[in-house]
Amino acid sequence: MRLAVMITMALGLVAGAAFAKTPYHDGTAEVIKPTDKDHPLGEIVSGYDFRKAMIRDVQDDDFENPAMLVVDHGEELWGTVDGSAGKSLSQAFEGCAEVPLDVAGAVYPRFNNAAGKVISLEQVINMCRETAMGAKPYKWESRDMLGITAYIRMQSRGSRVNVAVDGKASAAFERGKKLYYQRVGQLDMSCAHCHEDNYGNYIRADMLSQGNINGFPTYRLKWNGVGSTHRRFRGCMKNIRAKPLPYGHEDYVALELYTAWRGNGLKVETPAYRN
C-alpha cells in the first residue's frame, strides 16, 4: 500500500503537477537572479524561505538552534592537537584546503590540486588529518566530522556561495549535472522532478524547495540531529526506491558540486534548521 501511495505521488509530480504552485514565501525572501546564462532556473531561493516562520526563527537564534551544540564540538576539535605530527586542524587546514578558512565554506566542493580532483569539504578535512596531521580520518557522519564541517562552514556564514565549475572542475560538474536529471529507482524519478519542476508544491506535509544546499550540515527534525549533504542525497534515493551510494562516492561529490552551483549567490546559512 505504501509503495502504491508513493507511485501515485510520483506520477502526480512527474506529470508536471495538476495543481497550482503554492506561494512559497511571504514576500521577504531574498530572490537571486542567476548570473550564468545556462542556469535552469529564473530565480534562486534558499530552502530557508520554503519553511514556516517557526522553523526560520529557530535557525535565526543561535541559542535556540540545536545544531549549535554540534558546532561547539567542532570548535573544540579545531584547536585540538591530534596525530603524529603534533598539529591541530587549525594549524594545517588552510594549506590543505588551498583557500583561507573564512572562504572554504563558500567554495567547496572544489578542485583540490593536492588531491588532483574535485573533493568535498569532508574529504579535504580527512586528507588534512591524514597527510598533514598524521591522524586517523573521521567517519563521514560521525559527530566529529559533522562538528568540524559545520564549524568550518559557519566561518563563511553570510558569505555568498561561489563554487567554481570551470577548468579542472568542469568534468565533475558535467557528471553532476547528468546525475541531477537522471531517472533512477522504482519510481523512475530524478532530482529535477522535485526540485526544479515542482518546488513550491507540497509532497504530503512538506513543501518542496529548490534543493539548494547552502545550509548544510543541517539539523533536521526528521533526523533528530545534524546531517551532511550526502545523507540528504541518500535519503532522496531511498524515497524514490533507488539504491543509495556510499558516503563520499565520486558521483555524490559531483552531484554536490552541481547542486551547490545551482545555489551560487545564496548566503551560506550553516547550520541550517529544517523539518
Region label for 238, one of left (φ > 0), alpha (ψ between -120 and 50) or beta (otherwise)? alpha
d(CA 83, CA 128): 11
Which residues does the annotation mark as catalytic? 236
Chain Cα centroid distance, residue 267: 13
d(CA 106, CA 129): 21
Cell 526560520 belongs to 56
CB distance 214 to 268 below 8 Å? yes
The 3-state DSSP class for residue 215 equals coil
d(CA 118, CA 267): 22
CB distance 7 to 187 below 8 Å? yes
